[in-house]
Structure 1
Amino acid sequence: MRRITSSETRTGRTIIGMRLFSLVSATLLAGLLAIAGALAQGAAPSDANQPAAPMEQRTTDAPAPVVIAPGGTQASQADPAPGTVSGASRPASLQMPHDLSPWGMFIAADLVVKAVMLGLAFASLVTWTVWLAKGIELLGAKQGARKAVELLSRAGGLVQAREQVNAGSIKSKPVSALVAAAYDEAQRSEKLPADDIKERVAISISRIEARAGRQMTRGTGLLATIGSTAPFVGLFGTVWGIMNSFIGISQAQTTNLAVVAPGIAEALLATAIGLVAAIPAVVIYNVFARAIAGYRGLLSDASAEVMRHLSRDLDRRMAAASPVVALQSAAAIRARKAE
């Protein structure tokens, strides 16, 4: 049975979170469309059911009759009817006073919605910073490891590989650590059985690979966190903004879309910013996961080359030793296998 890695677990959680966000967003969008339809249907009958204005109110633009005063002077024009409304005194709420550009909606948004937008913008900035820094680090590490594997494959043994490390030909730090660990253990255990040396070197190599993998995955967990939480944070800002829009409708006592639309647009901007922060984070995380897997594969190839050189050097040492030492080593190996 294949073992599920931590990167696959994070990816699965991210996919589940995005599906849940899609479901919640679809429900919210359906509710907004239903509200908009109800507002449009409520506004139309109210305008149609208003009684017709009297004739004298609809003809207020006509000039008032001039009355000749007894002294021969003209009196002032008659005052307009009490029920007339001039064009200059129309309600300001019917003229769409809000700036519906992204910056204008941010300025006019509620304090909580502003905080959500700023937090999501900061998360997006962190995402692109991690992408730039980790991308440069991964590119250099993979190039160094690939070149180191090529040099190790052409080396004649651990001694020559160690010389290449000292000369700076192998620039990959993990690969240099692999060569150094194998060479030092072989030097310290010169008169010990070869199998014990290989076992200790294998343990050291596995720890070096694990440490290099942890160092390379540092920072990618932040991308997974942003990708899974940013849509829901933006959705929270949207819900809060729509609540404020409904409160504004109640206070204004009107269902005119000119009053409702700006608040809903400001609320939906939070969801848009959340998606802008989340989608690149998920994509970059998946790209880095594949790149790190390739980097670990290169380290595994380097480890195999080191173990191959170590085995060859130990066999040469065994062949060059005296027959007595060779017999003692063979007897020790057989005794250990028998146990």
Structure 2
Amino acid sequence: MLPAAAAPAAWAQALVAPETLPHDLSPLGMFRQADIVVQAVMLGLAFASVVTWTVLVVKLIEFALASAALRRGVGRIEAADTLRAALAEAGGSGADARMLRAAARELNRSAGGARLGVGERVASHLAQVQARAARQMGRGTGLLATIGATAPFVGLFGTVWGIMNSFIGISRAQTTNLAVVAPGIAEALLATALGLIAAIPAVVIYNVFARAIAGYRLQLAEAAAGVERLVSRDLDRAAAGGRV
């Protein structure tokens, strides 16, 4: 039993406590009522999430177009009997066309000289083309890895900052009423949730693109092998006195 003098104070606290609760506990409402630092963290994580999905859409289109073009290029290389015939069929600035032009330039530079070493020089040029094409295809995926690795910690920072502010508010209010404490903690935990929302898709999409780049590298290697076979045939025909 509370003393008679204490009862009105307890009832008054019970009536006032709900008034201290924020009226809007939706994610948008908690964002508006959060500390400026927590708001900045949330905005940064939301921007990172938008960047992740933008990279997904752009890279999916880029992968689809490049892979289809390279697949057609490999088919043209395999169907050709000479490097000149393959060059006549190749068009545009795809990786297969760049490999064919690089091989033709090296053959022209080596014309009239010894055959020894021509194959190695052609292979070196083809390796450079492969590396550049793979590097170009991988642009933007490093950003996904960065977001996936840092977003949870950024969200955790926002949560720690928000919880510190909540405890400061508790000390100032001189109350441990859960109804007063919970809203501030919920606002802080929203930052961690946003960090996970940004990080999880980024990690998954990065792994998907890593496998796609590995497959694209295999296509590049297949195209390079086809070009090397064409060069070898042309060199053998030239050595035998045939028409290249």
Q: TM (normalized to structure 2)?
A: 0.92
- Equivalences for 1:279-298 in 2 at 5 Å? 279-298=200-219
Larger Cα-atom Rg: 1
Distance in 2 (CA, whole Å) between partners of 1:223 and 1:197 is 41
| 1:145–1:172 contact (8 Å) kept in structure 2 | no
2:81 is matched with 156
Local SS of the residue matching 1:195: coil
1:92 equivalent in alignment to 2:20: no
Structure 1 position 88, deviation (Å): 8.7
Q: How many residues align?
A: 241
2:159 is matched with 238
1:314 is matched with 235
CA displacement 1:223-274 (0-9 Å, x = unmatched)? 1000000000000100111111111111111111111010000000000000
1:132 is matched with 57
Taking every aligned residue pair, what percent have the same amino acid on both sides?
A: 59
Structure 1 position 96, deviation (Å): 5.7
- Judging changes above 3 Å, is the alpha-carbon distance between structure 1 residues 84 and 196 closer, same or farther for their aligned structure 2 residues? closer
Structure 1 position 306, deviation (Å): 0.2
Q: Which has the higher contact order (CA 8 A, sep 6+)?
A: 2
CA displacement 1:148-197 (0-9 Å, x = unmatched)? 111111111101101001xx3xx561110100111222233222222322
Local SS of the residue matching 1:193: coil
Local SS of the residue matching 1:270: helix
| 1:233–1:274 contact (8 Å) kept in structure 2 | yes
Structure 1 position 290, deviation (Å): 0.4
Distance in 2 (CA, whole Å) between partners of 1:127 and 1:187 is 46
Structure 1 position 112, deviation (Å): 0.6
Structure 1 position 124, deviation (Å): 0.8
| 1:223–1:284 contact (8 Å) kept in structure 2 | yes
Distance in 2 (CA, whole Å) between partners of 1:152 and 1:173 is 13
- Equivalences for 1:15-94 in 2 at 5 Å? 50-51=2-3, 53=4, 91-94=15-18
Structure 1 position 97, deviation (Å): 2.9
1:277 is matched with 198
RMSD: 2.2
Q: Which segments of 5 or more consecutive residues in structure 1 lack a partner in the other structure?
A: 1-48, 58-82, 322-339
Q: Which segments of 5 or more consecutive residues in structure 2 lack a partner in the other structure?
A: none
- Structure with more of its chain in helix, by fraction: 2
